[in-house]
Chains A and B, each alone.
Chain A
Amino acid sequence: MEILVKFFLNYQEEAGIDEKIIKIPGDKAKLEQVYSCLERSTDFNPEKVQKEGIVLLNERVVNNRKPKKVEVKDGDNISFMPMVSGG
């Protein structure tokens, strides 16, 4: 399965790319596997996003602290961005 991942702001700086298509075997996976896949192929640091970022799965915010519980499937898109904190 293929998942489109987009990085914003500091996550973009850290990962060194603005977006990437990742491939995971099978047609379903958990967010945790996306994290590991990104850790292997970029400088992305999942701990940081778990602590202070926002993860959007298909444009909806998901619980980034429980990546074992968030399911992803082929064709999904995921965005990593920092917490918005005041206008």
Chain B
Amino acid sequence: MFEGGYLGQYLRINLKDKDIEVEEVAPEWQQKYLGGRGLAARFYYEEIESDTEPLSRENKLIFFTGPLTGAPGPATTKIGAATKSPETRQYLCTNSGGEFGPHLKKAGYDGIILEDKADKPSYILIKDDQIEIRDAEELWGKTTFEVNEILQEEVQQPEQILSCGPAAENGVVCSCLQIGDRSLGRGGTGAVLASKNVKAIAVEGSGEVPVSEPDKFKQAAREAISYVRDSKENHTRYGTAQYTGPMNEFGAYPTRNFQTGVFEGVDTIRAEHMKENYFKKNKACHRCPVACAQYCEVQEGKYQGAKSDPEYETIGTLGGMCGVDNFAAIVRGNELCDELGIDTMSVGAIIALAMELYEKGEITPEETGGLKLEFGNDEAMVKMIEKIAYREGLGDKLAEGMLQLAEEMPEHEDIMMHVKGLPLAAYDPRAFYGNALTYGTSSRGACHNVGGWSIRAELLKEEHDRFAVAGKGQLLKSIQDTRGYIDSLGICTVVRSGYGFTAEPEGRALEYLTGYNFTPELMEIGERVYTLERLILNREGRYREDDMLPGRLRKEKLPEGQAEGHVISDDIYNQMLDEYFSARGWDDEGRPTRERLKELDIAHLQ
């Protein structure tokens, strides 16, 4: 059916039996779910039971690339994954850039499904059709940086190695998987891999991704490159860190665990300051002309020598959320997270929560081992990352994540800033009402990407004024559906506009790649992916009440800044949620209706 883009096969690796099968991907699934997030969700629906324990041998780790992954165009870098999350105890989708996805395709596979558990620590080496499950005694306990160094002999570059760090081995629920400096960041995929006794997967492929019409695709790729070079200049210049100043200006910058939306220390953590004092060089994912990663180095002071490339969200959570205005500490905190394999966003959010509880006297100095866990204490922020990764002292408790804390301290639930167990990203929805639906309805918990990044539309379009209520449900559905197909294609969202993908300007890159004209179907595919994810959530017991926001956002008005006085009251939120459910064709409880499932051709999955 397809003449390019797909290899049409994936690896199913049973770790216990050491059985490695090459299986076919049904073309019908590719047509309906594209790849990446969509295809991984389809396999999840089929293979992971609703009562599966995240860290049990029954859970699976499902990786899928998209048709564009590894293709000879810009930013064809992404690999998606789905698994049952230890952090949210439900369906999780996540993705990452780097060279792992492209090399997996070049080795001849669209994806990998890992099943069961190895008898002893192992790593997997994939070199075209040579696939080995090898002994990893030597790697166990090592940081991701050390793993990269040891395995580097096997592959050309560290970006082809996917690995977990000590945090994952210690079962930290927000431990991630690293691919070079990039991460499958959210939801605890690291702990799932480690629970299978697997430390790393290294891949090297010598083939090429097939292209249906190579010359035409090449031309479309050239046009995409020149478009993104012009339009994404600020991404190259400042990376995502560029949002720090503007978000603070909008009063939307979460500060001290969302107590306010304006951070008085923003001037020393904003992109302009980073650029002047810490920036060393740009770094790029696979074939990306934007190279948005801002690689920074600390030249002096107590964090001298620290090196990393902090993104906006990391600066937001380790910075503003923790009241930390020392950029060097953020570079170090980010470096530690990459090294130990832990999600910067969740860990920053949980440290911020602990800081508030400490200041309220609910966490004692005895529990912190004498550490003054106060807002603004950069050393305490950095130290806590280590303590969580190694489960030392209070770190052991925080390593269990927000859901567990909410169960243990229900009286403080209002200030636990998560939805469905996933901590919020670094935007305050009280300053952008659409962002409330983003967090509430995102299928993996409070995520600004999967949930649909509404801020641009809320700023630029009068009808979507950021404090308006009407129209937000429809808006979020449309942004989420777009994201649903982008995450399934295998490219980075920053670069997507270069390819078109819509009727205007006519985007034919996908057709030149696969030989199939996907363009008219993309929004429907995005909606199908989102609806399938909702079916999974329903099956796992998630309904309307699980889409609610933390109490602080519903009850406390923002005290200052441009959004002063704003709050997402239950009334406001329910109005937006009703409109959203209706736009999606879901009932009042957030269950897709039979009619909508039929329209999307997935009624058989109900």
Question: Closest CB-CB distance, B394 to chain A, in whole Å?
Answer: 31
B557: A residues at CB distance < 8 A: none
- Contact pattern, A 3-38, Cβ under 8 Å of B = 1, otherwise 0: 000101110110000100000000000000000000
Interface residues on A, range: 20 to 34
Question: Closest CB-CB distance, B272 to chain A, in whole Å?
Answer: 6
- Contact pattern, B 244-269, Cβ under 8 Å of A = 1, otherwise 0: 01100111000000000000000000
Residues of chain A whose beta carbon lies under 8 Å from any beta carbon of chain B: 6, 8-10, 12-13, 18, 52, 54, 56, 59, 61, 79, 81-87
Question: Closest CB-CB distance, A85 to chain B, in whole Å?
Answer: 6
22 chain-A/chain-B pairs, Cβ below 8 angstroms: A8-B245, A8-B246, A9-B234, A9-B237, A9-B242, A9-B272, A10-B233, A10-B237, A10-B238, A52-B231, A54-B459, A56-B249, A59-B250, A81-B245, A82-B234, A83-B456, A85-B234, A86-B494, A87-B243, A87-B313, A87-B425, A87-B448
State which of A10, A54, A87 has its C-beta within 8 Å of the C-beta of B453: A87
Interface membership of B455, Cβ < 8 A? yes
Question: Closest CB-CB distance, A60 to chain B, in whole Å?
Answer: 9
Closest to B562 in A: A59
State which of B272, B425, B455 has its C-beta within 8 Å of the C-beta of A84: B455
Residues of chain B whose beta carbon lies under 8 Å from any beta carbon of chain A: 231-235, 237-238, 240, 242-243, 245-246, 249-251, 271-272, 312-313, 425, 427, 448-449, 453, 455-456, 459-460, 493-494, 562
CA distance A11 to B313 in the complex (A): 23
CA distance A54 to B247 in the complex (A): 13
Would A87 and B232 count as touching, CB distance under 8 A? no
Question: Closest CB-CB distance, B486 to chain A, in whole Å?
Answer: 10
CA distance A61 to B449 in the complex (A): 23
A81: B residues at CB distance < 8 A: 245-246, 249
Would A8 and B249 count as touching, CB distance under 8 A? yes
Question: Closest CB-CB distance, B464 to chain A, in whole Å?
Answer: 11
Would B240 and A87 count as touching, CB distance under 8 A? yes
Closest to B449 in A: A87
Question: Closest CB-CB distance, A51 to chain B, in whole Å?
Answer: 11
CA distance A59 to B271 in the complex (A): 20
Would B234 and A10 count as touching, CB distance under 8 A? yes
A56: B residues at CB distance < 8 A: 249
CA distance A9 to B271 in the complex (A): 7
CA distance A42 to B466 in the complex (A): 32
Would B449 and A12 count as touching, CB distance under 8 A? no
State which of A10, A79, A84, A85 has its C-beta within 8 Å of the C-beta of B232: A85
**Given A18-B272, A87-B313, 11 more pairs with CB closer than 8 A:** A6-B249, A8-B245, A9-B234, A9-B246, A10-B237, A82-B242, A84-B455, A85-B231, A86-B456, A86-B493, A87-B455
Closest to A12 in B: B272
A18: B residues at CB distance < 8 A: 272
A82: B residues at CB distance < 8 A: 234, 242
Question: Closest CB-CB distance, A55 to chain B, in whole Å?
Answer: 11
CA distance A12 to B246 in the complex (A): 12
A13: B residues at CB distance < 8 A: 272
Would B562 and A9 count as touching, CB distance under 8 A? no
B246: A residues at CB distance < 8 A: 8-9, 54, 81, 84
Closest to A59 in B: B562
Query: Top 8 A-B pairs ranked by shortest CB distance?
Result: A87-B453, A59-B562, A87-B448, A82-B234, A81-B246, A8-B245, A61-B459, A84-B456
B235: A residues at CB distance < 8 A: 85
B455: A residues at CB distance < 8 A: 84, 87
CA distance A18 to B245 in the complex (A): 11
Question: Closest CB-CB distance, B505 to chain A, in whole Å?
Answer: 17
Question: Closest CB-CB distance, A26 to chain B, in whole Å?
Answer: 27
Question: Closest CB-CB distance, B267 to chain A, in whole Å?
Answer: 9
Closest to B563 in A: A59
CA distance A9 to B273 in the complex (A): 10
CA distance A26 to B242 in the complex (A): 36
CA distance A6 to B238 in the complex (A): 18
CA distance A56 to B466 in the complex (A): 13
